[in-house]
């Protein structure tokens, strides 16, 4: 893979948190890349480290070890040490818009803040014009919303404001950390539509984090699945959903509630969800999924599986596939 086609490259990234109970290995040696203009999906259950990964790329945390390359430049430092021009080029939309927007500020102030910080505007009239443009881009009417505060807005409108703020500096890369999981389905559909349109217009690359597999199928071009801080499978979205290889992927897919018979055929029948996610402080040895895996063998408890390619664009880390090849 040439360096030129990737906007973000993550190599052997680790993030450990020290707690009074021991070290939590939130992200433990993951490698992936996001290509220009694509939506790279990261799925997993709570505690899998998917949000931590998002925060690491944006610079909220400093990695314990490993490398993050953004447009070929190493950015594995904390956001405070990153050059301003680089911070302008990436942004994030958080899960809960109610807590990511300052309730005492107006929508104008909220959206204008990144513009001011990066010195992108010269006068007040220019600011109003730019904020109006941004609000229109996320389908909020500037006249109605500009001078209101987050408390007057519905959940979808708040999230749209957060998106307007995220694209204010004209970034090329946006981390979307469960942007719709706090919203109702009818509102979710609208927010996703806005995000997809913006991606087309502004040529954005997304790192899309969610636990909702049905949503992921519809937005991502490539998907990686995380479990207890590790990536176990990554593939193009089509292969990931039509030919899921890792038992955990299959379990997750089999748990998704679906509406149509056609979807039902995509759900693996050989795996049923059992057990719970183990503790991240003392993760199971070998393959971390082995205590829940219906196909676990002795080797799974001892040795960590290596990534192998089972078909083009489809990689999996599981002992079931190592033996066959």
Partner 1 sequence: MTEQLLKIEDLSVGYKTYRGTSKVLNGANLTVNAGEKVGIIGESGCGKTTTMKTILQILPTNAVIYEGEVHFRGKNVLRMAKNELNELRRKHIAMIFQDPTAALNPVFNVETQLIDIIKSSGGHEVKKKEEFKDKCIGLLKEVALSDPERVLDSYPFQLSGGMRQRVCIAMALATPRYLLIADEPTTNLDVTIKDQVLRLIKDIVENRKLSVILISQALGAVKGFVDKVYVMYAGNTVEVAETKELFSNPLHPYTKGLLNSTPKLTGGGFSEGIQGRVPDYINPPSGCRFHPRCNYILGRCKGEKPPLIDMGGNHAVACWLCYKE
Beta-carbon contacts of residue 4 (< 8 Å; ≥ 6 apart): none
| Min CB(62)–partner 1 separation in Å | 28
Measured distance CA(172)–CA(90) in Å, rounded: 6
**Position 98 contacts partner 1 (CB under 8 A):** no
CA distances 94 to 21, 78, 157, 237, 318, Å, are: 28, 18, 14, 23, 32
Under DSSP, the state recorded for 306 is P
| Min CB(295)–partner 1 separation in Å | 16
**Position 306 contacts partner 1 (CB under 8 A):** no
C-beta of 69 vs 187, nearer to partner 1: 187
**Position 175 contacts partner 1 (CB under 8 A):** no
| Min CB(229)–partner 1 separation in Å | 16
C-beta of 6 vs 161, nearer to partner 1: 161
**Position 255 contacts partner 1 (CB under 8 A):** yes
Measured distance CA(124)–CA(127) in Å, rounded: 5
Of the candidate spans 118-126, 251-259, 281-289, 309-317, the one that interacts with partner 1 by CB under 8 A turns out to be 251-259
Of the candidate spans 99-107, 199-207, 261-269, 305-313, the one that interacts with partner 1 by CB under 8 A turns out to be 261-269
Contact with partner 1 (CB under 8 A) among 28, 157, 177, 233 = 157
Site string for partner 1, 137-156 (x = CB under 8 A): -----------------xxx
C-beta of 66 vs 233, nearer to partner 1: 233
Q: CA angle, corner 159, sides to 196 and 156, nearest 5?
A: 90
Beta-carbon contacts of residue 263 (< 8 Å; ≥ 6 apart): 214
For residue 168, which of 117, 129, 134, 132 has the smallest C-alpha distance? 134
CA distances 76 to 8, 13, 228, Å, are: 12, 9, 22
C-beta of 4 vs 274, nearer to partner 1: 274
Q: Sign (positive/negative) of CA torsion 77, 37, 184, 237?
A: negative
Judged by CB under 8 A, the chain residues 187 through 246 that form the site for partner 1 are 187-190, 192-193, 211-215, 217-218, 237-238, 241
Measured distance CA(44)–CA(57) in Å, rounded: 17
Of the candidate spans 10-18, 70-78, 121-129, 255-263, the one that interacts with partner 1 by CB under 8 A turns out to be 255-263
Measured distance CA(111)–CA(147) in Å, rounded: 11
User: Residue 35: which H helix or E strand, with range?
Assistant: strand 22-35
Contact with partner 1 (CB under 8 A) among 62, 243, 273, 285 = 273
Chain contacts with partner 1 (rule: CB under 8 A): 45-46, 154-157, 184-190, 192-193, 211-215, 217-218, 237-238, 241, 251-260, 262-263, 266-267, 273-274, 276-277
């Amino acid at each position: 893979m040439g360096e030129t086609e990737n906007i973000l490259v993550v190599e052997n990234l680790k993030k450990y948190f020290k707690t009074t109970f021991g070290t939590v290995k939130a992200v433990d040696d993951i490698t992936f890349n996001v290509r220009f203009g694509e939506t790279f999906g990261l799925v997993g259950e709570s505690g899998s480290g998917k949000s931590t990964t998002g925060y690491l790329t944006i610079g909220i945390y400093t990695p314990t070890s490993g490398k993050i390359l953004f447009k070929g430049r190493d950015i594995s430092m904390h956001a405070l040490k990153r050059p301003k021009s680089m911070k302008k080029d990436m942004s994030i939309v958080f899960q809960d818009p109610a807590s990511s927007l300052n309730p005492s500020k107006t929508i104008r102030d909220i959206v204008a803040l990144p513009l001011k910080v990066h010195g992108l505007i010269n006068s007040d009239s220019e600011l109003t014009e730019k904020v109006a443009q941004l609000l229109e881009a996320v389908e909020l009417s500037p006249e109605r919303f500009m001078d209101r505060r987050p408390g007057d807005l519905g959940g979808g409108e708040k999230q749209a404001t957060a998106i307007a703020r995220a694209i204010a500096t004209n970034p090329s890369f946006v981390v979307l950390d469960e942007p719709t999981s706090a919203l109702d389905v009818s509102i979710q559909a609208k927010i996703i539509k806005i995000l997809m349109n913006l991606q087309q217009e502004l040529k954005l690359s997304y790192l899309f984090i969610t636990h909702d597999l049905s949503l992921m199928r519809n937005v991502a071009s490539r998907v990686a699945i995380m479990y207890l801080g590790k990536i176990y499978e990554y593939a193009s979205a089509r292969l990931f959903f039509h030919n899921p290889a890792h038992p955990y992927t299959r379990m997750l897919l089999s748990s998704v509630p679906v509406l149509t018979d056609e979807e039902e055929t995509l759900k693996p029948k050989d795996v049923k969800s059992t057990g719970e996610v183990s503790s991240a402080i003392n993760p199971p040895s070998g393959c971390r999924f082995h205590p829940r895996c219906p196909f676990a063998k002795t080797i799974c408890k001892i040795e960590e599986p290596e990534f192998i390619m089972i078909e083009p664009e489809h990689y999996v880390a599981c002992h079931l596939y190592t033996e066959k090849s």
